[in-house]
Structure 1
Amino acid sequence: MSYVVAVRALCEFTAKQGDLDLRFTPAPSSQEGIEGHQLVAARRGPGYEAELSLQGAHKGLSVRGRADGYDPVTKRLEEVKTFKGRLDTQPDSHRQLHWAQLKVYGALLCQRSGLAELELALVYFNVGSQQETVLTQRCGAVELQQHFELLCERFLAWAGQELEHRAARDAALTALQFPFDGFREGQRVLAEAVYRAAASGQCLLAQAPTGIGKTVGTLFPLLKAAPAQQLDKIFFLAAKTSGRQLALDALQRIAARPLRVLELVARDKACEHPDKACHGQSCPLAAGFYDRLPAARRAAVAQAAPLNQARLRELALEHQVCPYYLSQEMVRWSDVVVGDYNYYFDVTALLHGFTSVNQWKVGLLVDEAHNLVERGRKMYSAELQPAGLAAARKSPAAGTSTALKKALDKVHRAWNALNKAQQPDYQVYDSFPDKLLLALQQCCSAITEHLAEHPTQVDAALQGFYFEALHLVRMAELLDRHSMVDMGRQPGIKGAVLSVRNLVPAPFLRPRFEACGTSTLFSATLQPPHYFSDLLGLPASHRGLEVASPFSAEQLRVRVAGHISTRYQRRAASLAPITALMAEQFKQQPGNYLAFFSSYDYLQQVALQFMQDHPEIPLWQQSRRMAEAEQQQFLARFTDHSRGIGFAVLGGSFAEGIDLPGRRLIGAFVATLGLPQINPVNEQIRLRMQALFGAGYDYTYLYPGLQKVVQAAGRVIRGSSDRGVVHLIDDRFARAEVQALLPGWWKLS
């Protein structure tokens, strides 16, 4: 069995040395890169071969890749690198890596075609000016083969180790046993469906009730399927920290060595020196990073325990390398990666990029998948804030650069013209305003040139606006029916906010699902399934699963308070009856309860009324922007022996992803349908959803609202011995169309 490695991965492993150098250098977007490569190829003569697939071998190491272009007449092989700004600011280490890659491609081409020599050309293409800078070398086949073999020799020991690891990993996973005495009711059904989806290379949308062990019930079968399906990696993606921790805990229990597990965290949480720039002259963990990386990498793969955030940090500091960039390196050598949605689904997602470049076969698990609709929308939305532009215009750079000031002022004028022309506070545009788009494009080019000429200068205001503007321009250029352009004035903000607002993330997410070997999206609230398949862009061949609840109606009493309306205009009248209902339930059955409300304001109004009417009953409240320690204190109030009511916001951090089994929680009050607020933005979304799917109100208001209700109510029954009560407080809960979206095992009274 040979070890397969991509040309780029081989060169990055063997040819990188010196400092980690991430001083700001403007980079083309992936689309700009593709267009740049296409333009260079179009300029070449007839017979030019673009995207040339090459492969070769050395001592059991199989190397493959795709060279950018080859002219068989002149025998010239090209590697095209797109860039922005000035080429002379490129670090030497980057140039060395580019030559290393091109020489490997040259060796592979000489092997394939029996060539005695080649002209190698590094083509640097400026996406702004569309000018080419070409660097050439003429190399003989013997020289290129020696270079190829040298890099392969450096990699062979590691490749052999990795082959041994893969064989041991697959043997261990084939023999893997379920980590508990037996499956919970419903858990086996879920596990079998995940296994079948992996075996057939399909996408699975699985609704399974809270409390059956979905994390173990999805990880175990996918791990079990990995050897036979030749999965290179499993990505477990979660919306929240709690979801990642559940996965890490499950993996610790399911599988021992030699499975390699890695947790990815955000850069701001992993950075040891946030006051320093990412290059060797500033940060001590960047200096000599690639020289110390091999030892850190060897130590990392030798770990018995999962490389969670704490362990990875400890290991990185032992070797004096950056924890964040060590974690990125270890993605290549890990079997299971646990991280946030954005690592695979975002515009420039790390995991998706690695998957494409290395041609990995990946198994994807998406936890609490109902969250992916809103998170996906945010990833592909962009806005221009007046404060950001104002700060950029006052930045030190704008004060010293005439060209920069002129470009920023042009954006300001175009934006002001829109502001003045807009009569209502909120307006939707048929397309992105042309003059503003041109001004933003020109401004981005000016900032690109400035930052390229001053790579060591840190100007946070300018860079912040630059990234905001780049993303907005990118989304404006991709504008279609899946998004809309709007502009609105907001309280406390001078000037209007311009947005490209994504409404249907499906066109952006669909290619990510197609790039997987198999994928499973799971949650307790995926009703109705067509809503999620429409908005997330699931493959037409995807399978659906609804796991029957293992819980009985006798375990959970669900009562509808149809005499109370929580509509905004009737809230004042609702306070007294809500507090009376809650107090009556508490007196009948003292214990711990959660009460959910549609907003902090409503929560505080009911809490104040409750404290006045029933001061003898303990209560504690969720507050805005709670720190993690404060959230833990809130949850710590729920013990087996405590009594009281925790007031929380529906859709917030206490409405899903928390586990309070047994006597820690015996009931919940949901004083809202959870419907999004009726406002101009949501009404425009409703119109678009009606046009696209014929279900404007349902897609905009009803389905998202009731998903939050079911998630919140799901905190009550967590196990087979739990008993509890849920009060649904609003007259609309009595409607047939609303009850049809609630769990079928609930018996409402």
Structure 2
Amino acid sequence: MNPRYTVAVRELCEFAAKQGDLDLRFTPAPSALEGMAGHALVAARRGPGYQTELSLQGDHGALRVRGRADGYDPARQRLEEVKTHKGRLDRQPPSHRQLHWAQAKVYGWLLCRQQDLAALDIALVYLDIGSQQETVFTERCSAGELRQHFEQQCERFLAWAEQQLAHRGARDAALQALAFPFDGFRAGQRPLAEAVYKAANAGRCLLAQAPTGIGKTLGTLFPLLKAAPGAKLDKLFFLAAKTSGRQLALDALERLAVGPLRVLELVARDKACEHPDKACHGESCPLARGFYDRLPAARAAALAPSAERLVLHRARVRDVALQHDVCPYYLSQELARWADVVVGDYNYYFDLGALLHGLAQANLWRVGLLVDEAHNLVERGRRMYSAELRPDTLAEARRSVTAQTVPALKKALDKLRRCWAALDRDQSLPYQVHAAFPAPLRAALQLACATIGEHDAEHPQTQDAALRAFHFEALQLLRLAELLDTHSLLDVTRPPAGAGAHRAAPSTLCIRNLVPAPFLAPRLAAAHTSTLFSATLQPRLYYADLLGLPADHAVIDVASPFQPGQLRVEIARHISTRYRHRAASLDPIVALIAREFEARPGNYLAFFSSYDYLEQVADRLAARHPQLPSWRQSRRMPEAERQRFLARFTDTGQGIGFAVLGGAFSEGIDLPGRRLIGAFLSTLGLPQVNPVNEQIRARMQAMFGAGDDYTYLYPGLQKVVQAAGRVIRTPDDRGVVHLIDDRYARREVQALLPAWWMLTPSQRLPAKTYPFG
């Protein structure tokens, strides 16, 4: 039989050989860089004929198994599976060792078959990253024994592979026959869909700017699904910055109603965990105990077609998981291997340890990416590749019961505090950037992490929240310290001394990513095709530079379906919202809001640069015009309050909703028709001038020659356009946008506003030089 299903060695063994408990005790594994360095060290210790990264493959019935073996010594006829680790090896769960042997023996048979060997030494090589010492377990196996093991693993997987083949055939046939779910495309939706389809077939990256209200979610999902069979795509990943974006994608996929299509929603661990007070291992959590023994039945139940289509929402995954007594969060991670479309947050693909990217690389999947509201990826990318260690986190860890009762922990944490204090003593400025991570502090941080890891391994039942929080922050910082380069900086911030204090408080350490492109570019390159889309991707070069788009990426700027007559744009040239003019701006802004509302009663959003500014204007409006209804966004507004805020915007409602620019109500909300007829933007949205942003400006100038633009102007105007885009959502909408600041009249600012707004020459002032303070 010709092989028709290809599976990676690791995937095969994880499916067929994993047994027992889910065991994720907090014993941190080496980082990717440490792992690569460890493999290189092992190879360097071997003889001159030692071979690394051997590409191997073999067939069993309809199954083709392939992978890369870590190392082979032809002189000794020994194949090695190399694993790096931290901490004592005798604490390794038996199920981990069992999986490693299964992988090594599969590679062993593939090598015997390729080189016609009668027998082979199979070795598990465990390298301790800290001591650099090897522990080697060796087993002599005949080719017959290895073949029997290989066939056993394949037989366990083969029935599943046959189901997958049947599913893939039915899926592709359904996608080829897929029809657009409406009578026709909206204006602008067809050119967007055509561009996505062409990019998928050509295997290219597409940057797509398309106006709000044309249906970008369906306009990108539909063509990528249509292209999947011809482009031989294994998976589609729809990545969103916010819950609202994920829900729009799930709704669109429900609308498309592709019967055989498996759609999975991934949610954060804290939203899916049934026992947040327990650790992820069988001795603590009942849903981890025997997880891999019950997983096959849970997996089969989750993926069994039960209706015309299968959408694995969070609630459905939870129901199946609890029916089979397995963890919902880790069941969803297992189901990601078998879903056709996965809908989740950006971090599931772009984060350093991203699940979806890791699975795609391990299984050589051909992936299509859709990145929703891609303008958010700049700041989200910066946050993903940044880490911070706060003094209060260390202080709480030192005060914890565990640290106070375990001498080794107390000693390690005290040493770290002394090194940190020494760094503070040498720093006279409140904010300082360091060219490299201070060596004594880094060594103390590594020692503290290793000591905590050892203690956690010895006491798996211990649940010390303060120690765990510190450990997590410290590990993140150390991980990014390995990758520190011109794309990021290490800064130390000391708050000023309080009243009566003799010295400033302890500092905060931060590795701050400024340019996410070096991290994002390999992820985009790993996908067969990717489309990054948003209503605000202007100027293109800014996003290409900061997101790491490939040099040959395609671009489409979809013309707006809206007419200039739908939106009246007014510039309040007589008002300055600069910080130094803020007090003087309150009365003119209140008068403008009241005048517009009196002329055209209805629902409006008023955006401000800060909560303080918002409160000042809202209070002044309430005092001067008490008859005018208003409601306000609050700091850290809970989800229920956000829903009540939006519920005030009805077709018959009237009033002013006060919100912060860049917050929850600036994008991702849809208030068509009379639900929203206007917006006031009392800011340009420019980031504050502060030491951090000035460091970003200097780096942007050095790397791209556009320090002020890349740091202040472009990010600010992007938020403005997003917020203003809430007003006109359909071809029937009519509304007004008031741009409140004299700087909106400048040509260089108006060049970044949507062309269809058609501002008149009388609203412009001559261009001026930056900055815009």
TM-score band (shorter)?
A: over 0.9
2:26–2:453 contact (8 Å) kept in structure 1? no
Q: What is the CA distance between 1:458 and its match in structure 2?
A: 2.0
1:26–1:451 contact (8 Å) kept in structure 2? no
Please say if 1:5 is aligned against 2:18: no
1:26–1:452 contact (8 Å) kept in structure 2? no
Q: Structure 1: which 4+ aligned runs deviate by more than 6 Å? A: none
Residue 318 of structure 1 corresponds to: 323
2:70–2:80 contact (8 Å) kept in structure 1? yes
Q: What is the CA distance between 1:405 and its match in structure 2?
A: 2.2
2:28–2:86 contact (8 Å) kept in structure 1? yes
Amino acid in the other structure paired with 1:396: V
Residue 568 of structure 2: SS of its match in structure 1?
Answer: strand
Residue 43 of structure 2 corresponds to: 41
Residue 86 of structure 2 corresponds to: 84
Please say if 1:556 is aligned against 2:567: yes
Amino acid in the other structure paired with 1:717: I
CA distance in structure 2 between the aligned counterparts of 1:161 and 1:474, rounded to whole angstroms: 40
Please say if 1:150 is aligned against 2:152: yes
1:208–1:549 contact (8 Å) kept in structure 2? yes
Q: What is the CA distance between 1:442 and its match in structure 2?
A: 2.6
CA distance in structure 1 between the aligned counterparts of 2:28 and 2:211, rounded to whole angstroms: 47
2:284–2:461 contact (8 Å) kept in structure 1? no
1:215–1:247 contact (8 Å) kept in structure 2? yes
Amino acid in the other structure paired with 2:676: L
Residue 463 of structure 1 corresponds to: 468
CA distance in structure 2 between the aligned counterparts of 1:456 and 1:81, rounded to whole angstroms: 26
Q: What is the CA distance between 1:281 and its match in structure 2?
A: 2.0
Residue 718 of structure 1: SS of its match in structure 2?
Answer: coil
Amino acid in the other structure paired with 1:100: A
- Identity over aligned residues, as a percent? 72
Residue 75 of structure 1 corresponds to: 77
Cα displacement string for residues 710-733 of structure 1 (whole angstroms, at most 9, x for unaligned residues): 000000000111111100000100
Amino acid in the other structure paired with 1:315: V
CA distance in structure 2 between the aligned counterparts of 1:583 and 1:659, rounded to whole angstroms: 24
2:5–2:62 contact (8 Å) kept in structure 1? yes
Q: 1:164 aligns with which of 163, 166, 183?
A: 166
Residue 532 of structure 2 corresponds to: 521
Residue 581 of structure 1 corresponds to: 592
Residue 745 of structure 1: SS of its match in structure 2?
Answer: helix
CA distance in structure 1 between the aligned counterparts of 2:14 and 2:438, rounded to whole angstroms: 43
Amino acid in the other structure paired with 1:76: R
Q: What is the CA distance between 1:441 and its match in structure 2?
A: 2.3
Residue 655 of structure 1 corresponds to: 666
Cα displacement string for residues 560-596 of structure 1 (whole angstroms, at most 9, x for unaligned residues): 0111111111111111110111111111111111110
CA distance in structure 1 between the aligned counterparts of 2:61 and 2:692, rounded to whole angstroms: 62
Amino acid in the other structure paired with 1:239: A
Please say if 1:539 is aligned against 2:550: yes
Amino acid in the other structure paired with 2:149: H
Amino acid in the other structure paired with 1:187: Q
User: With structure 2 as the length reference, what TM-score do the two structures score?
Assistant: 0.95
Residue 680 of structure 2: SS of its match in structure 1?
Answer: strand
Residue 669 of structure 1: SS of its match in structure 2?
Answer: strand
Q: What is the CA distance between 1:535 and its match in structure 2?
A: 0.7
Aligned length: 749
Residue 755 of structure 2: SS of its match in structure 1?
Answer: coil
Residue 444 of structure 1 corresponds to: 449
1:176–1:255 contact (8 Å) kept in structure 2? no
CA distance in structure 1 between the aligned counterparts of 2:295 and 2:443, rounded to whole angstroms: 44
Cα displacement string for residues 430-470 of structure 1 (whole angstroms, at most 9, x for unaligned residues): 22222212222232233233333333322222222122112
Cα displacement string for residues 382-410 of structure 1 (whole angstroms, at most 9, x for unaligned residues): 12200111112222332233332222222
Amino acid in the other structure paired with 1:449: E
CA distance in structure 1 between the aligned counterparts of 2:578 and 2:675, rounded to whole angstroms: 31
Residue 625 of structure 1 corresponds to: 636
Q: 1:121 aligns with which of 120, 123, 126?
A: 123
CA distance in structure 1 between the aligned counterparts of 2:393 and 2:356, rounded to whole angstroms: 30
2:23–2:280 contact (8 Å) kept in structure 1? yes
CA distance in structure 2 between the aligned counterparts of 1:119 and 1:395, rounded to whole angstroms: 49
Q: What is the CA distance between 1:159 and its match in structure 2?
A: 0.4
**What are the within-5 Å matches in structure 2 for residues 74-473 of structure 1?**
74-303=76-305, 304-473=309-478
Please say if 1:603 is aligned against 2:608: no
Amino acid in the other structure paired with 1:16: K
CA distance in structure 2 between the aligned counterparts of 1:191 and 1:244, rounded to whole angstroms: 19
CA distance in structure 2 between the aligned counterparts of 1:360 and 1:240, rounded to whole angstroms: 26
Please say if 1:721 is aligned against 2:722: no
Q: What is the CA distance between 1:708 and its match in structure 2?
A: 0.3
CA distance in structure 1 between the aligned counterparts of 2:495 and 2:270, rounded to whole angstroms: 29
When the two chains are superposed, the root-mean-square deviation of aligned CA atoms in Å is 1.2
Compare 288-297 and 157-166 and name the one that shifted more.
288-297
Please list every run of 5 or more consecutive structure 1 residues that lacks an aligned counterpart in the other structure: none
CA distance in structure 1 between the aligned counterparts of 2:45 and 2:410, rounded to whole angstroms: 36
Q: What is the CA distance between 1:143 and its match in structure 2?
A: 1.1
Q: What is the CA distance between 1:289 and its match in structure 2?
A: 1.2
CA distance in structure 2 between the aligned counterparts of 1:33 and 1:486, rounded to whole angstroms: 27
CA distance in structure 1 between the aligned counterparts of 2:150 and 2:172, rounded to whole angstroms: 30
CA distance in structure 2 between the aligned counterparts of 1:586 and 1:566, rounded to whole angstroms: 21
Q: What is the CA distance between 1:114 and its match in structure 2?
A: 1.2
Residue 310 of structure 2: SS of its match in structure 1?
Answer: coil
Cα displacement string for residues 525-580 of structure 1 (whole angstroms, at most 9, x for unaligned residues): 11101101111111111111111111110000111011111111111111111011
Cα displacement string for residues 41-82 of structure 1 (whole angstroms, at most 9, x for unaligned residues): 111112111111111111111111111111111111111111
Residue 746 of structure 1 corresponds to: 757
Q: What is the CA distance between 1:310 and its match in structure 2?
A: 1.2
Compare 487-496 and 598-607 and name the one that shifted more.
487-496
Please list every run of 5 or more consecutive structure 2 residues that lacks an aligned counterpart in the other structure: 499-503, 764-773
Cα displacement string for residues 599-656 of structure 1 (whole angstroms, at most 9, x for unaligned residues): 0110000000000111111111000111111111111111111111110000001000
CA distance in structure 1 between the aligned counterparts of 2:439 and 2:99, rounded to whole angstroms: 40
CA distance in structure 2 between the aligned counterparts of 1:742 and 1:237, rounded to whole angstroms: 26
Q: What is the CA distance between 1:489 and its match in structure 2?
A: 2.3
Amino acid in the other structure paired with 1:105: Y
User: With structure 1 as the length reference, what TM-score do the two structures score?
Assistant: 0.98
**What are the within-5 Å matches in structure 2 for residues 11-26 of structure 1?**
11-26=13-28
Cα displacement string for residues 242-265 of structure 1 (whole angstroms, at most 9, x for unaligned residues): 000000000111132100000000
CA distance in structure 2 between the aligned counterparts of 1:305 and 1:224, rounded to whole angstroms: 18
Residue 653 of structure 2 corresponds to: 642
CA distance in structure 1 between the aligned counterparts of 2:732 and 2:95, rounded to whole angstroms: 61
Q: What is the CA distance between 1:123 and its match in structure 2?
A: 0.7
Q: What is the CA distance between 1:429 and its match in structure 2?
A: 2.0
Residue 55 of structure 2 corresponds to: 53
Residue 348 of structure 2: SS of its match in structure 1?
Answer: helix
CA distance in structure 1 between the aligned counterparts of 2:165 and 2:282, rounded to whole angstroms: 34
Residue 122 of structure 1: SS of its match in structure 2?
Answer: strand
CA distance in structure 2 between the aligned counterparts of 1:740 and 1:718, rounded to whole angstroms: 22
Residue 313 of structure 1: SS of its match in structure 2?
Answer: helix
CA distance in structure 2 between the aligned counterparts of 1:174 and 1:275, rounded to whole angstroms: 47
Q: What is the CA distance between 1:129 and its match in structure 2?
A: 0.7
Amino acid in the other structure paired with 2:347: N
